Amino acid sequence: MIFDLIKNRRSVFPPQYIEKELSKTDLERILEAANWAPTHKKTEPWRFKVLRGKSKEALGAFLSKKYEDTDARPQQIKIKKLRANADQSAAVIAICMQRDPKESLPEWEEVAAVAMAVQNMWLCCAELGIGCYWSSPGIIKYMDEFFDMAVGEKCLGFLYMGYYDGDVPVSTRNPISEKTVWLD
């Protein structure tokens, strides 16, 4: 049931991943789920770059080096984590947004559409037993140095993915009644 899938979806982090390859078929299915996200004015702003094998290793090396070079006080633990996240993942999907060249709608609506696409991917991963985690490090602003990006395209983060052993953590939410105002 969709409600249970939504309620039980969780972040599963790269250190929890096991060494098991994600099939191209499953990755394509996950991306197709993203493609059916709502999109105002049908701009379909989501763009994805799928990294596996040596490309994800190159991403980890780039991210750790860029962080080290641009942060005034880089921390060794973060340098290692940026590299390890990519290395421990079976695949990494760069989450990008292509701005409507006509700017026919506010940018936040396109960012929201990309976020909904990612939620679709996340739910699909949960259904397939694939763990994932959306990370948006500050250094994503430099991704045009790593990827060929179209004019108006920007990176919003990375979806780290992998199979995992064990259960996902149980979570709670404060009651929706604390966040809702009813107007009759």
Model confidence over 102-135: pLDDT tens digits?
999 999 999 999 999 999 999 999 999 999 999 9
pLDDT band at 170; cut points 50, 70, 90? confident
Task: Answer whether residue 77 shows pLDDT above 90.
Answer: yes
Residue 168: per-residue pLDDT: 80
d(CA 54, CA 87): 9
Counting residues of the chain whose pLDDT is more than 70, the rounded percentage is 100
DSSP structure class, residue 170 = P
Query: Which residue reads 């980890």 in tokens?
Result: 60
Longest Cα–Cα distance of the chain, Å, equals 58
User: Which residue matches tokens 């991210």?
Assistant: 63
The pLDDT assigned to 1 comes to: 84
> What pLDDT sits at residue 61?
98
Mean pLDDT lowest among 79-83, 159-163, 170-174? 170-174
Burial of 16: CB neighbours in 10 Å, binned 0-12, 13-18, 19+: middle
pLDDT surpasses 90 at 92: yes
Supply the pLDDT for residue 88. Answer: 97
Paired with 92 in beta bridges are: 51, 160
Per-residue model confidence as pLDDT tens digits over 3-62: 998 998 999 999 999 999 999 999 999 999 999 999 999 999 999 999 999 999 999 999
CA 166 to chain centre: 22
pLDDT recorded at residue 43 = 95
What's the confidence (pLDDT) of residue 169?
Answer: 78
Known binding positions for FMN: 9-11, 40, 134-136
Q: Which pLDDT score is estimated for 118?
A: 98
Task: Look at residue 167 and tell me whether its pLDDT is greater than 90.
Answer: no
Contact 36, 77 (CB under 8 A): no
pLDDT digits over 138-166, tens only?
Answer: 999 999 999 999 999 999 999 999 999 98
Q: Which domains does the chain have, with CATH numbers?
A: 2-6+13-165 (3.40.109.10)
Annotated binding site: 9-11, 40, 134-136
- At residue 171, the pLDDT reads 87
Number of Cβ within 10 Å of residue 167's Cβ equals 8
